[in-house]
Structure 1
C-alpha cells in the first residue's frame, strides 16, 4: 500500500473518532484537537479493523498516535515489515 493511501485511510479513521471542523494538518497534534485516551482506543480499533492487523503492545504508545504522519509512518512500517 502506498504511503498516500495509508494517510488517506488514517485521516478517515481520525474523522470517525474526532469531530474536526477544519482540514487536518498531517503534523498537527491530535491531542490538541480532542484525542483523549478513550478516543485513542477507538482510533486504534478503527485502524486495526481498516488495515487488517493488530498493533503490538510495544507500539501502543501515545507518541505513535500523536499526528496523522506519525500514525501513517507506524502503519507503513508494519505493512512493509520495516523495523522502527
Structure 2
C-alpha cells in the first residue's frame, strides 16, 4: 500500500517537473510572459472553469501574456494599441 502511494507521488512529481522543464525550454525570450505555471498546462484550464470572469479580470492589467494549455499557445492581448 505504502509502496504504491510513494510510486504514484513520485510519478506525479516527475510529470510536473518534466512539464515545467518543457515550459522553460520552449519559451522564447521574444514571447510575452507566461501566466499560471503552478501546475503546468492544467492550471489555466482549472482556473478558467472555476471562476472565469475573476480569472480573466485579474490578468487584465497585463498588456499581453501567454497562456499555455496542452498542445497550444494562447496569446492574450489586452491593449488595442498592440493589435
Higher Rg: 2
**TM-score, length-normalised on structure 2?**
0.31
Higher strand proportion (structure 1 or 2): 2
Q: Higher relative contact order at CA 8 Å, sep ≥6: structure 1 or structure 2?
A: 1
Q: Which has the higher helix share?
A: 1
